[in-house]
Amino acid sequence: MSEILNDRYRLDKKLGEGGMAIVFQATDLMLERTIAVKILRKAFSASVPFQKRFKEEARAAANLTHPNIVTVHDFGFDKNRLFIVMEHVPGTDLKAIIKEHAPLPIPQASRLFVQTCAGIGYAHRAGLVHCDIKPHNMLVTPDFRVKVTDFGIARAMASVKHDEQSNAIWGSPAYFSPEQAAGRAPSPSSDVYSLGVVLYEMLTGELPFMDSTPQDLALLHRYEPPPSPRHINPEISPALEEIILKVLSKEASARYRTADQLGRIVISFTELETNGYLEEETAISQPADPALEAIKALETKKTPQGWLTIVLGLLALIAVGGLIPFWLWIYSQIN
């Protein structure tokens, strides 16, 4: 018999688990729809301060409504366990795609990355920082849509002191920003750094920094420059490498400020590099930026306006050419 949480959510099958939580495909018995339920492990659920922070962050995450963010429906506490109820997203996560297919073709990687930036950028505009960006938290649907998950849980985990976290929970040190590695509070630019690590991994199949211990890995993020991604994947152009390395700057002030800004830079770059490969479906999932849309509109009008000028000039020439014989005939009649 399936377990039921809060007399409402029936757990149907396990989808996955990690050091922090277990994820189930479930059924909302009240609304009769398929959902996903993430149940936190009891070690975290038992902490009263964490329970309070978790509820605060879950409420904030539930207010995020965006096509590239997993919608939070509900959260609760049952059988001494915290849980969060989310929309069910069919497909896989970006980490699985990277493991199987990396390095990804630049157009494909850009399409996924721009959607990710759109979702995280929306959260930044709402005043929320994700704190634990990694490809495991980026779900990809069969029609190639990206949905970022774990906003509330990641922010709640950030309130737990680092020395109180187990190795499994001490987040994802491979994707941590230098300031997070130093124990400082994350900011939107911290998310931008983590996005840079994800982009690096998508295009090379490797992480910029690897070490056997979280402590040594943190030091690499803080002090060591990343290896050149072009040396790993020659398909990466010098311009794209410059974008990646800027995002991976040690100083937060040297990076792009928000995920929105990074997303616009990647859109502009990929359109120039691949002659506008971005499909309409991707453009729909990216919130419109007035400045960018204005630039696109101007670029679209360049060719028609050029032809229009030529056609009008020819018509004028034909008109003038036709009047010349007419005036010569009048002149001959007068004389």
Which residues are annotated as catalytic? 132
- Separation of alpha carbons 175 and 194, rounded Å: 5
Inter-CA distances, 106 with 47, 56, 143, 233, Å: 44, 38, 18, 11
Q: Which two tokens stand for residue 283?
A: 């453009």
Q: Please check whether residue 134 is in contact with residue 172, taking contact to mean a CB–CB distance below 8 angstroms.
A: yes
3-state class (DSSP) for residue 120: helix
Q: Rg of the chain over CA atoms, in angstroms?
A: 27
Inter-CA distances, 305 with 84, 85, 300, 312, Å: 54, 53, 9, 11
Q: Which two tokens stand for residue 25?
A: 């495909």
Q: Please check whether residue 20 is in contact with residue 31, taking contact to mean a CB–CB distance below 8 angstroms.
A: no
3-state class (DSSP) for residue 203: helix
Q: Which two tokens stand for residue 261?
A: 């800004």
Element (H, E) at 231: helix 229-232
Strands 72-78 and 4-5: unpaired
Task: Quickly list DSSP for 124-157.
Answer: HHTT---S---GGGEEE-TTS-EEE--HHHHHHH
Q: Please check whether residue 27 is in contact with residue 88, taking contact to mean a CB–CB distance below 8 angstroms.
A: no
Give me the residues paired with residue 147 across strands. Answer: 139
